[in-house]
Amino acid sequence: MNYPPHLSVIIPLLNEADGLPELYRELQEALRPWANRHELIFVDDGSTDGSFAALEKLHAEDPRVVVLRFRRNQGKASALMAGFRRARGEILVTLDADLQDDPREIPRFLDKLDEGFDLVSGWKVKRQDPIIRRVLSRVFNSVTSLFTGLTLHDFNCGFKCYRRGVIQEIRLHGELHRFIPALASWRGFRIAEIEVAHRPRKYGQSKYGSERIPRGFFDLLTVLILTRYHLRPLHLFGALGALLSLAGSIGLAYLVFGWFFGQWIGDRPLLSLSILTMIIGLQFIFFGLLAEIIVYSSRQTDIPPLAAVLDQDDSRKDID
């Protein structure tokens, strides 16, 4: 009988050919209790080594292995979205293919999910990474927790477990995969975190460098706009505009005060700067007003997603 698997494990990868056979063996051992109720979805994100050939061999040996391949590198967010769309399980697990995540942790994720949560994220307490990367990760997680309102120790951990309803409401692009818990929390899903082991890398090399730092800042700004301000953009742009206008007004007030006492202000750089600041502030405010009009026009008949409905016969209907 061909029935949808209960558990889908999604593994995005890039140039991890050496470790794939070992990862497959570990996954099979960890998923033994779900032997006939799981599928493994490997997403090859444009590998240039022998990763795809290794995956073809695994697929030929085990029909539960699903292989997706991009023609060129598209990024982890795209790889995850491709895996989400192909997955058939009610529960989805994601982990990296570098063997630093231990598949034996999967049952712990499922147990935590059964406590009533919708997404369980891993927390690599003892990271096997260089100290500079650990420091940057701590800063990133602290700033993200502060601005998103969701307190997690490790937003970027690739080891996560989801209910299907979560991935049905989240769309990823760019590098927004790092903010999946924040996006899910904003949609009203319940988020939990568990400690997981982080093993040293055995094969290949890390795909992440220092260039992620500035990209992470802009991605965080994108998440804030998509969550807190997507329905009220004037609150963001209006606040920025008001601060700039206030700064310009203070500068002009200071110059006018000096002018009353005979000071010449026509050649003062502060005069030009204050006027420019006020103009930019007003532009931010008007930009926010235009964004509000656009939002209202496009979403005036829209409502947030429902979690349940009580119909006329008072029977409860859950909505995934």
- What are the tokens at 69? 């391949």
Contacts for 54 with CB less than 8 Å, ≥ 6 apart: 17, 20, 21
Q: In a structure prediction context, what are the per-residue pLDDT tens digits for the chain, which is 320 residues long?
A: 466 689 999 999 999 999 999 999 999 999 999 888 999 999 999 999 989 999 999 999 998 999 999 999 988 999 999 999 999 999 999 999 999 999 999 999 999 999 999 999 999 988 877 788 788 888 888 888 888 889 999 998 999 999 999 999 888 877 788 899 999 998 899 999 999 999 988 887 776 655 666 677 778 888 877 777 777 888 888 888 999 999 999 999 999 888 888 788 878 889 899 999 999 999 999 988 888 888 777 665 555 666 666 665 555 555 55
- For 7-211, CATH gives 3.90.550.10
40-59 burial: b if 16+ Cβ within 10 Å, else e: bbbbbbbbeeebbebbeebe
Query: Under a CB-based contact definition with an 8 Å cutoff, are residues 227 and 148 in contact?
Result: yes
Domain ranges of the chain: 7-211, 233-299
Provide the pLDDT for residue 1. Answer: 43
HEC readout, the chain: CCCCCCEEEEEEECCCHHHHHHHHHHHHHHCHHHCCCEEEEEEECCCCCCHHHHHHHHHHHCCCEEEEECCCCCCHHHHHHHHHHHCCCCEEEECCCCCCCCHHHHHHHHHHHCCCCCEEEEEECCCCCCHHHHHHHHHHHHHHHHHHCCCCCCCCCCCEEEEHHHHHCCCCCCCHHHHHHHHHHHCCCCEEEEEECCCCCCCCCCCCCCCHHHHHHHHHHHHHHHHCCCCCHHHHHHHHHHHHHHHHHHHHHHHHHHHHCCCCCCCCHHHHHHHHHHHHHHHHHHHHHHHHHHHHHHHCCCCCCCCEEECCCCCEEECC
Provide the pLDDT for residue 174. Answer: 72
Cα distance between residue 208 and residue 199, in whole Å? 17
Q: Distances from the Cα of 72 to the Cαs of 48, 178, 201, in angstroms?
A: 9, 21, 24
- Would the pTM count as exceeding 0.75? yes
